């Protein structure tokens, strides 16, 4: 059997190559201004939910994806909302903590987020949060 020799490439268009490398580090997160961030009143007795399920799910998704603790997740969401210019209030960490228990079984993305987060870390990407 013959030995395998690694394939070598000669880069001729360095500006495109440099642009492609810079774009690998690009991060885009979209918040739809039409999204219902605050919950609609249910008309039931007792304390009403302040934030919509979509808002809580978005925060928990970012928490799991970047491996952030709850307080840093709220800070990250606050900075994202400030960058986008949306005038939405930010969930406090205690709301996220109680929502984590509620969403543990019914988050439809939960089976995808954990593998995505581990693949994100396996490919050399680092997040600053602790698990």
Q: Where are the domains of the chain?
A: 48-126
Q: Measuring CA to CA, how many Å separate 58 from each of 25, 52, 110, 111?
A: 22, 10, 12, 15
CA 17 to chain centre: 28
Query: Residue 88's closest CA among 37, 28, 30?
Result: 37
The DSSP result for 50-74, as a single string, is: SB-HHHHHHHHHHHHHHT--HHHHH
Q: CA-to-CA distance for 6 and 79, rounded, in angstroms?
A: 45
Please tell me the predicted confidence (pLDDT) of residue 106.
55
CB atoms within 10 A of CB 128: 9
pLDDT digits (tens, 9 = 90+) for 31-78: 888 888 888 877 888 777 788 888 888 888 888 888 888 889 899 999
pLDDT digits (tens, 9 = 90+) for 26-42: 777 888 888 888 888 77
3-state SS assignment for residue 92: coil
């Amino acid at each position: 059997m013959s030995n395998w020799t690694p394939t070598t490439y000669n880069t001729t268009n360095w500006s495109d190559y440099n642009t492609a490398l810079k774009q690998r580090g690009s991060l885009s997160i979209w918040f739809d201004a039409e999204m219902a961030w605050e919950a609609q009143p249910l008309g039931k007795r007792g304390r009403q939910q302040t934030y919509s399920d979509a808002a809580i799910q978005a925060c928990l998704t970012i928490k799991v994806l970047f491996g952030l603790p709850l307080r840093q997740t709220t800070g990250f969401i606050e900075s994202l909302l400030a960058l986008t210019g949306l005038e939405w209030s930010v969930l406090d960490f205690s709301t996220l903590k109680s929502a984590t228990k509620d969403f543990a079984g019914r988050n439809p993305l939960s089976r995808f987020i954990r593998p995505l987060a581990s693949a994100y870390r396996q490919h050399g990407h680092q997040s600053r949060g602790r698990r």
